[in-house]
Amino acid sequence: MNLTTIILAAGKGTRMRSELPKVLHSIGHKPLLRHVYDLSAKLENNTIHIVIGHCSEQVKKTLADLSVNWIEQTQQLGTGHAVQQVKNQLDDNSMVLILYGDVPLLQAETLQLLLSKTNENTLALLTVNLANPKGYGRIVRDNSGKVLRIVEEKDANATEKEITEVNTGILAVKGDALKKWLSQLNNDNAQGEYYLTDIIALAVADCFEIATRSPENEDEVLGVNDKVQLAHLERVYQLQQAKNLMQQGVTLRDPTRFDLRGTITELGQDIEIDVNVIFEGENRLGNNVKIGANCSIKNATIGDNVIILPNCVIENAVVGANSRIGPFARLRPETVLATDTHIGNFVEIKKSIIGQGSKINHLSYIGDSLIGKKVNIGAGTITCNYDGANKFQTIIEDGAFIGSDTQLVAPVTIGKNATIGAGSTITKDTPDNQLTLSRSKQMSLEGWQRPVKKEKL
Ligand code: UD1
Ligand code: CA
């Protein structure tokens, strides 16, 4: 049977207290609604409709790449009303799955389990037992345990409020039956809304069986209504990702202090990651990579045996095998380090290629540069790449040695095996093999006296 998924995402999310529509708030840098979409996209033969309302243009624009049918619900008159907006597009013979755009951590296995329970005369409902069921719709069963209906918190009497089995909102049922019940909904309840949950009693009246299933873990069905819940689910999600990496052999010094706000698409063996490391974007890590505490790594490719010492910031960069970075190094976009390089403390590199075996160990800025093999760049070297209007390139050829505290005023080329004397300001190209220095002569003044403090009158 074909599958149709309806994701409800029109609500305002008042309790988020934000200009941003609720479903665009993120977990792991990914909008809540994209989490739900990615999950439904895993199901085969699935047509996906997303019901949007509040800030719908912004939602569509942010998630323009999703292959879904966007449905506008101009007024939010309840979950039943939201599903009614899709009614005309539902195929009688398809199985319809309802998901919520603000319930991001549901697992595909749970949905498969739910869908496996559906058939011609069975509605499958995902429920969960909560120690604190407050705010949720309660599942009302008869003495034999058969589900009769769902009662919303605001409509429930004292006895019903004691029920701890709650409605997650997630259900699956055949299109023709759903369409029939949708047209029977009314808003005669405490909130004056069209409740989707009322279809349960209608299904029971039509002799449908209500099959309930529960997720393995209750965090899967928790929704985001405020920033506290958002933070809770962020931690749940990060712990899941940490476990996933550990299962693939990564050593995490503390899985509760690890954040992956993106992906690691290639993962070598024997990787060790210390505390408070944050990954963003798409990353690749080779074998034996060791990453020290407090590093921020975004869109990076890190080769085999690389050691990244604590407190480094790496973005859109490639680090060749056997290199050592940090502590306190910053690799900015378009940095490419060949193998066996050493980048030390307080070194900033931007848009530069650094050749094999080259070392920049202390306090330097290297920008728009092409640096050859086995180059040694002394402490405090600055490539002056910007004249206030344009950027220029610095080329340093193989084997060059740049003395400490040198300024290389680009465009400039330092020849092969050239040596630059410490403290030089280099404005012209320098020849291969020679020592070049620009430095005023040192002198000493005989008989010179230090000034002394004037006596107060
Ligand atoms: C709903 C269920 C409740 C369940 C709970 C689980 C109903 C009547 N109640 O309650 O039984 O325990 O979810 O979290 O269904 N939405 C729309 N359009 C609307 C109204 C809501 O798209 O007009 C969307 C929201 O954006 C949200 C979802 O539907 O993604 C749920 O809406 P919400 O108002 O949070 O429902 P609850 O009152 O929490
Ligand atoms: Ca809710």
Interval 93-104: pLDDT, tens: 999 999 999 999
Cα 158 to averaged position of ligand 2 atoms, centre (Å): 21
Q: Are residues 195 and 322 in the same domain?
A: no
Can 362 be counted among the known catalytic residues?
yes
Tell me if 445 is assigned to some domain.
no
Q: Does 318 score more than 90 pLDDT?
A: yes
Cα 137 to averaged position of ligand 1 atoms, centre (Å): 10
Three-state SS for the chain is CCEEEEEEECCCCHHHCCCCCHHHCEECCEEHHHHHHHHHHCCCCEEEEEEECCCHHHHHHHCCCCCCEEEECCCCCCHHHHHHCCHHHCCCCCEEEEEECCCCCCCHHHHHHHHCCCECCEEEEEEEECCCCCCCCEEEECCCCCEEEEECHHHCCHHHHCCCEEEEEEEEEEHHHHHHHHCCCCCCCCCCCCCHHHHHHHHHHCCCEEEEECCCCHHHHCCCCCHHHHHHHHHHHHHHHHHHHHHCCCEECCHHHEEEEEEEEEECCCCEECCCEEEEEEEEECCCCEECCCCEEECCEECCCCEECCCCEEECEEECCCCEECCCEEECCCEEECCCCEEEEEEEEECCEECCCCEEEEEEEEECEEECCCCEECCCCEEECECCCCECCEEECCCCEECCCCEEECCEEECCCCEECCCCEECCCECCCCEECCCCCCCCCCCCCCCCCCCCC
Averaged over 287-301, what is the pLDDT? 98
Q: Are residues 120 and 165 in the same domain?
A: yes
Q: Are residues 191 and 250 in the same domain?
A: no
Dist CA 151 CA 197 (whole Å): 8
Q: Does 457 score more than 90 pLDDT?
A: no
Decide which of 183, 204, 221 is a domain's last residue: 221
Dist CA 136 CA 155 (whole Å): 11
Residue 243: give the domain boundaries.
227-436
Q: Are residues 279 and 161 in the same domain?
A: no
Q: Are residues 152 and 282 in the same domain?
A: no
Q: Are residues 184 and 250 in the same domain?
A: no
Q: Are residues 242 and 175 in the same domain?
A: no
Chain mean pLDDT for the chain: 97
Decide which of 192, 221, 250 is a domain's last residue: 221
Tell me if 261 is assigned to some domain.
yes
Residue-wise pLDDT for 130-151, tens only, equals 999 999 999 999 999 999 999 9
Per-residue confidence (pLDDT) for residue 1, from 0 to 100: 82
Tell me if 341 is assigned to some domain.
yes
Q: Are residues 19 and 89 in the same domain?
A: yes
Q: Are residues 151 and 236 in the same domain?
A: no
Tell me if 442 is assigned to some domain.
no
Residue-wise pLDDT for 58-94, tens only, equals 999 999 999 999 999 999 999 999 999 999 999 999 9
Decide which of 172, 189, 221 is a domain's last residue: 221
CB atoms inside a 10 Å sphere around CB 307: 18
Averaged over 365-371, what is the pLDDT? 98
Pocket of ligand 1 (CB under 6 A): 8-11, 51, 73, 76-79, 81-82, 100-102, 136-137, 150, 152, 166-169, 195-197, 223
Q: Are residues 130 and 242 in the same domain?
A: no
Q: Are residues 244 and 305 in the same domain?
A: yes
Residue nearest ligand 1's atom 8 by CA: 195
Q: Does 247 score more than 90 pLDDT?
A: yes
Averaged over 1-30, what is the pLDDT? 95
- Into how many domains does the chain fold? 2
Residue-wise pLDDT for 438-449, tens only, equals 999 999 999 999
Tell me if 455 is assigned to some domain.
no
CATH of the domain at 40: 3.90.550.10
Per-residue confidence (pLDDT) for residue 352, from 0 to 100: 98
Which pLDDT band holds residue 372 (cuts at 50, 70, 90)? very high
Mutational test site, ligand 1, from 79, 100, 138, 155, max ligand atoms within 8 Å of CB: 79
Averaged over 329-346, what is the pLDDT? 98
CATH of the domain at 368: 2.160.10.10
Nearest to 353 by CA among 399, 388, 320: 320
Percent of the chain past pLDDT 90, that is, above it, reads: 98
Ligand nearest to the CA of 103: 1
Residue-wise pLDDT for 187-227, tens only, equals 999 999 999 999 999 999 999 999 999 999 999 999 999 99
Tell me if 359 is assigned to some domain.
yes
Q: Are residues 262 and 276 in the same domain?
A: yes
Per-residue confidence (pLDDT) for residue 12, from 0 to 100: 86
Residue 152 has phi, psi (to 5 degrees) of -70, 150
Ligand nearest to the CA of 198: 1
Cα 197 to averaged position of ligand 1 atoms, centre (Å): 9
Tell me if 449 is assigned to some domain.
no
Tell me if 447 is assigned to some domain.
no
Which pLDDT band holds residue 421 (cuts at 50, 70, 90)? very high
Cα 418 to averaged position of ligand 2 atoms, centre (Å): 68
